[in-house]
Structures are given as structure tokens and as C-alpha cells.
Structure 1
Amino acid sequence: MDFGRLITAMVTPYDKEGEIDWEAASRLVDYLIEEQKSEGLVVCGTTGESPTLSDEEKLQMFSFVLEKAAGRCKVIAGTGSYNTKHSIELTQKAEKIGVDGALLVVPYYNKPNQEGLYLHFSAIAAETKLPLILYNVPSRTGISMSANTTIRLAEIPNIVATKECASLDQVALIAAGCPDDFHVYSGDDASALPALAVGGHGIISVASHLEGTRMTDMISAYLSGNVQLAGQYHRELLPIFKGLFECPQPLPNPSAVKYALELRGINVGSVRLPLTPPNEAEAEFIRKLVL
């Protein structure tokens, strides 16, 4: 399974009451595919505020986005958690809906060891035929899955990719140790181009909500051998890559990108508690960043 080079970790639109806004979700899917050139959409991942979505809401989102995308891009369901049994059940329900794959985050809070991580992911893989993407994000989970554990898991046929947020070194080690058809995605927009240079396949992105077209151009330039042009795109985009997470102090994802989308005329509402929208200083920083 090739999910493409540019995958957007899609926000979940809410109305003023904090419920899923289905009309806004419909417009957002069209916008991300047609205008921002997303080849895949991760639904109900971190950027989709998965911790505050119920299972029922997640399944509704998987079904809705799959129907709306209508084969124009891959739809990847965020079904991972710190509970192996629950992750299996949600992944199986997503499979019945017909999604193209599932994203499985490293278990957070209970902090298993490397063998526990291997057994967690291999147990999920054994109970589904879906292509699976691992997701290592130690800044959120409190632990990091080692390159060696990822390489072991890559031997399982339906574990086909990983979203790697630990380091560029980790991207390189995994790319070197896994089969050629196992794809390594950067989970850090600012590392999208450097990750390609060390063997990465693409990016699972937040900034592609705003700059997906230019990110596609950057990736295409690099793959065609025009490294100078790719570097130019990277330098132009870097303020947005960094600013969405540092504006002007760290702001929880997806608070910044949701506000930035509103400024660009794509209304997706605010965030659910415990996340908060940008304060006045942060909002002014984002306005200067994206307008």
C-alpha cells in the first residue's frame, strides 16, 4: 500500500456547540484534496483531537470522510490507543467501514517497554487485514519506540509504514533497516525535506492544511533531482512549519492551524477542552504568519 507522499492529519471541524460540523467537514475534505493536493487524509489522529472524540464520533468521521473522498485520496483511520484490546476493536470497526488503512500511535501513559510495544502492535496486526502505519511521537507519549523495534515490526506483512517524530537519525536508521516497500513518513513538517534526504518517503503533515500545494511542489522538486529548488521551497515554508507550533510560545496542536484556516476562509470552528483557542497575542502572531 502506497498512501502517497503528502498526507494531511486532518482537523475535526466543530460547530459553536462543540459538536462535529458535518457541512464544514465536507467542505474541508474537498479543499484538502482539490486545493491542497493531499494524497491521503488521517482522520481522528492527534490533529483531529482524537483524545476528546468518542468511538461513535470517530466511526462517524471515518465513514463520512471515506464517502466524501470518493476514491480521490486514501483515508487512514486513527485507531490507536494505550489499550491493545480497544485498539483492535476500533481498528476492526474501521476496517468494516472500508477505510484504506489505520494509524496506530505508540501507547501513551502506561509506558510499555520495547517488547510490550512489539507485542501491542503485532497483536493489532494479527486481527486486521488493513495496512497499518505505526506512529512514534515521544513528545506526546512519554516513550520512544526504538528503530530496532520498528524494524522488527516491519517484517509483519500488513505493517507497511511508520510516522516518525523522534529524530532524523531515527528516520535514517529505520529506512536503512526496513524493506524498500516499508515507508517512513516524517511527522514534523520542518523535517519533511531533510527526511526525504535520509530515506523518508513523505510527510504526514499539519501545515498542508495551508501549504499543501507548495509542499507537493517541494517534494516533487526533490524527487526530480532539483535539490536547489526543493531547498528554496523549504526555506520559504519554514516560518509556517515552525510558527504553527511556536506562536509565539508553544500552542497545542491543532489550535493554531484551526485559527489559521479560519483566517484563510476555511471555517472549521475552535477546539474542545482541555485545548484552548489562541489568546490575543497568539492570534496576532498567526495573522501575521498566514496573511
Structure 2
Amino acid sequence: MSHATGRVWSPVITPFSQDLAADTERFVAQCRWLLDADVGLAVFGTNSEANSLSVEEKIRLLDALIEAGIPAARLMPGTGACALPDTVAQTRHAVGKGVEGVLMLPPFYYKGVSDEGLFRYFSEVIERVGDDALRIYLYHIPPVSQVPLSLTLVERLLAAYPRNVVGVKDSSGDWANTRALIDNFAADGFQVYAGSEPFLLQTLRAGGAGCISATANVNPAPIARLARDWQAADADAQQAALIRTRKLFERFPMIPALKAVTARYSGVGQWARLRPPLVELDETQCQELFASLDEIGFDMPGLKHS
């Protein structure tokens, strides 16, 4: 099933003030800037430093977005946590706010867990939230979580909860796995998102839904354009340009790089700040990244005014 237009979501970076508290006002402004570029908001994702935020903080930030008039239908908050009650609390709250769906990590502390254990975890969350409006996008990110979600597990969850388990973000970096998810499940409307935009065009051509990507934080409009125009004559050239930009960021630790660049183009130095244990890029890294971006004429239009 090919999608007429693909969709792009950004795991929105979280701004921190000097005391390391989340800066709500700046967070809302950043989300508005992304929405203006036609990018959805996968707040509390990996690049949001979500696992450095408390459950209470994430609930408060989501409330702030809704209160500021950010449309709930453009939100896909990350709600997966190691502790089942934390996942249930965040998920129940998000569903109650009317979000498009939730992006759910597996419990990631224990390694080598069985498909049976993971099935029970997701099943418990779904049963305890107990809401037909719950739409889960599974989050497969084995390079970070070290807890993969197998095709067998996805198949079992879809059979048990076809109305609640509606998609997956595949951040394995393995095209064969993304392709298998699309080939096995997309025909029934299951939405398969690539974990980064280098895979966007092939995902859409294969019948996937789009991408949920770190660099949508900094290069949103061009990524969203390819998702919309993926059947255009210049789609391959658009894809090549996106890959070129992405590769510049991949030479550095991703979250510090996204924040350094956002600080530079917004003129707000505080954007560079991270919560420990993550640390900022050093001066040399910043100069190298900025020079390489200048070389390709990179810009973040409208960010200063947001």
C-alpha cells in the first residue's frame, strides 16, 4: 500500500535553562517552528533526552504544548519506560489529551529478554490504559536499547491488539528489517516509519509511511518536502541532498550536534545545553560542524523569529 504523501516526525530536542530545568516557553516555540515546516512532533524521543526527563516533567511539558494550542493530532509523545507503571501513567495521560499516537520503547534495562516477556509488557500497558483511542507506534532501536522487537513479536501484538498497535519506528539502520516490516504488515494499514531520512525515499516507494528522524529537528522543511513529493521527477536528487546533510551531523554525537546547530541558527546560546551524562560539543567540534554546514549553504529559516 503506497501512501499518497509520506509523513515526517521530529523527536523534538528539549531546551534546558541554567538550572537544567526544561524551558517550556522555548520548547513550545520550537514545536511551532517544526509544525510550520510540516513536521509532526514526536516529543520525548531519543533525541529529546527523554530518558533524562522524569515522568512528571514529560506530563507537564505535554500539557504545556496542548495549552499553547499545539494540535494534539500532530503529537506522538514517547511514553516507553523501564517501569510498567511509568509507561502506563504517561500513556494514559497522552491518550487522554487526544494525541495522534504514542511512540513506545520496550523496557530496555534488562537485556536478552524473551518475546514472551515483551509481549506481556506491551499487553499489560494496553490492558491497563484500557482505551480504544490508544494508538501505539512500537519503537525498535536496538543500537541504543539493545532490546530488539522481532517480526514475530510484532505479528503477535497485531493479532492480539489490531486496533491499538498501529505502527513502528525502525531505527535499526537495517533496510532489510524495515523492508520486512513493510512487506509483512503494511498492506493492512500498519504504518512503518524509517528511523532516519536517508531511508525515506525507499521506505515510501516500498509502501512505508515516512520517517521519524533526529535531523528533522534542524532540516525539517526539505525532509517534509521529499515526503510530500516523493513521486516527483527530482525525488532522487532531493534524497541525495538530505543524505549529504545528514552525514555531516553523523560525524558528531547526534544530540549535542543538533543542539549546537540550533543554538547557532536561533542565536540562543542556551540551546546548546544538555542534561548530564550528555555533554556539549567542544569548540573544535562546533567549528568543524559549522564550517561543513556553511559549505553546503545550510540554513534554518525562520528559527530566529520563532
Provide TM-score, normalisation by structure 1: 0.89
The correspondence of residues 6-155 of structure 1 with structure 2, limited to 5 A, is: 6-34=8-36, 36-38=37-39, 40-71=40-71, 74-111=74-111, 112-128=113-129, 129=131, 130-155=134-159
Q: Deviations 1:30-76 (Å, cap 9, x if unpaired)?
A: 11111x221x2111121111111111111011111223343285112
CA distance in 1, matches of 2:84, 2:94: 15
The list of structure 1 runs, each at least 4 consecutive aligned residues, that deviate by more than 6 angstroms after superposition, is none
Higher relative contact order (CA 8 A, sep 6+): 2
Query: Match of 2:176?
Result: 169
How many Å apart are 1:281 and its aligned residue? 2.5
CA distance in 2, matches of 1:152, 1:289: 46
Q: 1:65 to 1:290 in 2, by over 3 A?
A: farther
Instruction: Indicate conservation of the 8 Å contact 1:106/1:137, yes or no.
Output: no
In the alignment, which of 159, 181, 189 is matched to residue 181 of structure 1?
189
CA distance in 1, matches of 2:213, 2:16: 20
How many Å apart are 1:83 and its aligned residue? 2.2
Unmatched 5+ stretches in structure 2: 295-306
Provide TM-score, normalisation by structure 2: 0.85
Deviates more, 1:280-289 or 1:44-53: 280-289
Secondary structure of 2:250 counterpart: coil
How many Å apart are 1:243 and its aligned residue? 2.3
CA distance in 2, matches of 1:66, 1:75: 9
CA distance in 2, matches of 1:242, 1:60: 34
Number of aligned residue pairs: 281
Does 1:272 find its partner at 2:275? yes
Secondary structure of 2:95 counterpart: helix
Query: 1:54 is matched by which residue type in structure 2?
Result: S
Instruction: Indicate conservation of the 8 Å contact 1:132/1:158, yes or no.
Output: yes
The correspondence of residues 239-278 of structure 1 with structure 2, limited to 5 A, is: 239-247=244-252, 251=253, 253-265=254-266, 267=268, 268-278=271-281
How many Å apart are 1:261 and its aligned residue? 1.0
Q: CA RMSD in A?
A: 2.1
Secondary structure of 2:290 counterpart: helix
Secondary structure of 1:289 counterpart: helix
CA distance in 2, matches of 1:99, 1:118: 23
Secondary structure of 2:211 counterpart: strand
Instruction: Indicate conservation of the 8 Å contact 1:131/1:158, yes or no.
Output: yes
Secondary structure of 2:102 counterpart: strand
Unmatched 5+ stretches in structure 1: none
